[in-house]
Amino acid sequence: MTDAIPHLTLNDGQHLPQIGFGTWPLDDAQAQTAVQAALACGYRLIDTAARYGNEAGVGRGIAASGVARSQVRLTSKLRGSEHGFDSTLRAFDATLAALGTDYLDLYLIHWPLPMRDLYVDTWRAFVRLREEGRIRSIGVSNFQPAHIDRLLSETGVLPAVNQIELHPDFTQAALRAWHARQGIVIECWSPLGRGEVLKDATVARIARKHGRSPAQILLRWHVQHGLVAIPKSQDPERMRQNLAVFDFALDAEDIAALALLDGEHRQGGDPDTNDER
């Protein structure tokens, strides 16, 4: 069931499969093995970041997979220490060199770091790189509406994607509605709540009802909410499972039960205060 992964169309005309493969917190060697296995399973969206320190491993995994580069939607992210126009251009070159490629499908500003106030200059460099054809789509990660409003008002260019933490225990309903109005696709990091939400009793009950695993219930929830999710796993069997979510559907009762799970619990940092360089 990995041959028919639905895609979402972005506001720049590009598209993304609704399930991709996340690589945090793998090191180079682990990322190489995992990415090669994920591509063999049928994943075609691979997500990394300069800050993960595994871009070289991701690049080697793609090369070893035998899957053509043109068939892979490759995403990386600019780390916080590189915010600023010139430093972004330099960091992008380093990312391409580490990945062993000459373009990215999607490049994201990893965190807004509003306390540094450099994300608009950074965004201008992203726009330049897209104009030069070196990035297909440009986006952001962990941005709040106020940060995106500034990008739009100061550059006139809206991100195609915002990658944020989002799962049934942290559903960010108002933020999702805002992105839908803006036409920005949400990519969800830690869609399994870093494994924590898999332990929930309601998720387990719905999993038994459908003869599926808890992870499949959570990822199907993302798919039915019109989101992109990028679960990470080092286990090829789990990788396969996480991609096999397109041959069943949650019903209205399941969706209503899962809606009660939202404890507004983040697993990761807060976009307004996180200063991760």
Q: Which is nearer to ligand A2P, 55 or 187 (CB)?
A: 187
Q: Segment near ligand A2P (CB under 6 A), from 92-100, 101-109, 114-122, 228-236?
A: 228-236
User: Binders of ligand A2P among 186-205, rule CB under 6 A?
Assistant: 190-195, 198
The C-alpha angle 117, 121, 127, rounded to 5 degrees, equals 140
In sequence order, the β-bridge partners of residue 162 are 140, 186
Closest to ligand A2P by CB, 66 or 247: 247
CB of 57 to ligand A2P, least distance (A): 15
Nearer to ligand A2P, 210 or 238 (CB): 238
Binding of ligand A2P at residue 42 (CB under 6 A)?
no
20 binds ligand A2P (CB under 6 A): no
The DSSP 8-state label assigned to residue 13 in this structure reads: S
Q: How far is the CB of 28 from ligand A2P (least distance, A)?
A: 16
213 binds ligand A2P (CB under 6 A): yes
103 is catalytic: no
Of 235, 251, 270, 275, which one interacts with ligand A2P (CB under 6 A)?
235
Q: How far apart are the first and last CA of the chain?
A: 39
| CA dist., res. 251 & res. 264, Å (int) | 23
Binding of ligand A2P by 171 (CB under 6 A):
no
CA distances 184 to 10, 33, 139, 141, Å, are 7, 32, 9, 12
Q: Scan residues 81-140 and list those touching ligand A2P (CB under 6 A).
A: none
CA 54 from chain centre, in angstroms, equals 16
Least distance to ligand A2P from the beta carbon of 190, Å?
4
Under the binding rule (CB under 6 A), the answer on residue 27 touching ligand A2P is no
61 belongs to the binding site for ligand A2P (CB under 6 A): no
- Residue 261 tokens read as 């799970």
Q: Does 46 bind ligand A2P (CB under 6 A)?
A: no
Q: Which of 52, 103, 107, 119 is catalytic?
A: 52
d(Cα 154, Cα 250) in Å, to the nearest integer? 42
**Residue of 128, 134, 238, 266 interacting with ligand A2P (CB under 6 A):** 238
Q: Which of 17, 20, 22, 80 binds ligand A2P (CB under 6 A)?
A: 22
Q: What is the DSSP letter of 32?
A: H
Q: Which residues pair with 137 in a beta bridge?
A: 106
Q: Is 137 exposed, middle or buried (0-12, 13-18, 19+ CB in 10 A)?
A: buried
Indicate the SS3 state at residue 159: coil
| 142 is a contact residue toward ligand A2P (CB under 6 A) | no
DSSP per-residue codes, 187-227:
EEESTTGGGGGGG-HHHHHHHHHHT--HHHHHHHHHHHTT-
CB 59 within 8 A of CB 100: yes
Q: Which is nearer to ligand A2P, 18 or 242 (CB)?
A: 242
Applying CB under 6 A, the residues found at the interface with ligand A2P are: 22, 190-195, 198, 213, 215, 231-235, 238, 241-242
**Residues annotated as catalytic (active site), given as ranges:** 52
